[in-house]
Structure 1
Amino acid sequence: MEHQFFLKLGISAILGLIIGLERELKRKPVGLKTSLVICIVSCLLTIVSIESAYVFEKPDHITMDPLRLAAQIVSGIGFLGAGVILRRGNDSISGLTTAAMIWGAAGIGIAVGAGFFLEAMTGVILLIISVELLPLILRLLGPKQLQEKEILLRLKVSDQHNITDITNQVKENDITLKHIRIKDLDTNEQFIQMKILVHQKKPTTDVYYEVRKIEGIRSIEIESL
């Protein structure tokens, strides 16, 4: 029986390694080591949960739930996933995919610990396809909305009467205006924040140079979301 324990832990380590490498290559906060720990420990706790149900079986045919300890992994891993979800100053949310991958790594570990090797391997393959290959296919063959990226523009203008002309000229450069916010500054200038959509292949620097040519803009700050 002991060789099965080592086999399960070894398989969970390999599958956790695959998930961790995907995050590591993208320089995400949860990388190789974290994914390995999550997958291996989830597998270990599942093994302990199953085995303890039979080792510590109570008399009079009262049995324990073999997966009672493993069931707590799914809820407990949520605290770790919440730690990687960030809200930026521009109101955008990041880290959701990484949090989902943490939850997925725990699920893979549980599946391996319960003896579902083929299902766990298939799950990892589908996870990598969903995160890496599918978005690429949708960007190439999907609708226009999936081929666009969001860019945040922060502009300062000196004449409030030029705001309408500036926004119209921005939209003339194959740019879709998604959201705009205008604020008066103490320096008698106006601050304009625009969330725009451009084609995925269009470099952010090209957007900067196109918008910088518009008259009436005192300063520009651009951020790719």
Structure 2
Amino acid sequence: MRELNAVSLFFRLALAMISGGLLGLERGRKRRPAGCRTYMLVCLGAALTMLLGQYESIALDLHWSSLAESIGQRTDVSRFSAQVVNGIGFLGAGTILVTGRQEVKGLTTAAGLWASACMGLAIGAGFYECVILCVLLIFLCMRFLPVIENMLIERARFINIYVEFHSLDNIGTIINRIKEQGAQICDVDISRTGAEGSKNPSAVFSIRLEHKQPHTRILTAIAELDSIYTIDEF
């Protein structure tokens, strides 16, 4: 399994995707910005980069050895890959946004861009077997995983709620209503204005449910208050 063959490639890439997904699943259940798919793509891209380095080293010793001898010096080809991996980070950072509701978006897109850059390097080096396996795993991650991830998140005990209300005096009433539903408030971020130019005060509640229950139950309970203008889960 330590050799560079088809079985080893599939095992390493699959293990990277599963390992990253398990770590991301725990963060996703707690409604953190970087979830299951983000961790999967980053771990998969890192594994692909390491495999590419091994492939280049073997190819330079075997297939490209005569060319290296004719040049007369040994070139570290991995330096070119390192520059691309570092450079794509700036492009990925541009896709990450923090909305007015304190919601982080674009992390999965940034991770996908980085993984795509790693695949481009592998294609340029002629490492076709690894690229095909990586494309299939990334496609499975992007196409089918969101359905499973959403099912798990809907049953999670951690939720984030964005609320717009009449005045700051209503905060105590909202907090009491949340506690009446058997929930614990982990964090509150209060603002004098709402998202998207709204002039109503707003707050973001990070909540932990004491027992598993439908999230719509606590949302409905808060929405029944007369002082609530907008409520949304994210």
Q: TM-score, normalised by structure 1?
A: 0.53
Show structure 1 runs of 5+ residues with no match.
1-49
Structure 1 position 166 matched with structure 2 position 174:
yes
* 1:62 aligned residue (73, 92, 97): 73
CA distance in 1, matches of 2:134, 2:213: 29
Q: CA 1:211–1:120 in structure 2 vs 1: closer, same or farther (change >3 Å)?
A: same
Which amino acid is the alignment partner of residue 79 of structure 1?
Answer: F
* 1:77 aligned residue (88, 92, 98): 88
Q: Which moved more, 1:62-71 or 1:110-119?
A: 62-71
Which amino acid is the alignment partner of residue 179 of structure 1?
Answer: D
Structure 1 position 153 matched with structure 2 position 163:
yes
Deviation at 1:157, TM superposition (A): 3.7
Counterpart of 1:193 in structure 2 is 203
CA distance in 2, matches of 1:99, 1:71: 17
CA distance in 2, matches of 1:191, 1:203: 23
Preserved CA contact (<8 Å) 1:177 1:194: no
Preserved CA contact (<8 Å) 1:85 1:93: yes
CA distance in 1, matches of 2:80, 2:66: 14
**How many residues are aligned here?**
164
Q: Deviations over 1:77-98 (max 9, x none)?
A: 1111111111223333221111
Which amino acid is the alignment partner of residue 153 of structure 1?
Answer: V
For the pair shown, which has the larger CA radius of gyration, 1 or 2?
A: 1
Q: Deviations over 1:28-60 (max 9, x none)?
A: xxxxxxxxxxxxxxxxxxxxxx99x99996867
Q: CA 1:176–1:144 in structure 2 vs 1: closer, same or farther (change >3 Å)?
A: farther
Counterpart of 1:222 in structure 2 is 231
Deviation at 1:153, TM superposition (A): 1.0
Equivalent position SS for 2:73? coil
Counterpart of 1:137 in structure 2 is 148
Q: Deviations over 1:49-74 (max 9, x none)?
A: x99x9999686721333444333211
Q: Which moved more, 1:93-102 or 1:68-77?
A: 68-77
Deviation at 1:107, TM superposition (A): 0.6
Preserved CA contact (<8 Å) 1:148 1:200: no
Deviation at 1:100, TM superposition (A): 0.8
CA distance in 2, matches of 1:76, 1:126: 24
Identity %: 28
Q: TM-score, normalised by structure 2?
A: 0.52
Counterpart of 2:134 in structure 1 is 123
Show structure 2 runs of 5+ residues with no match.
1-58, 194-199
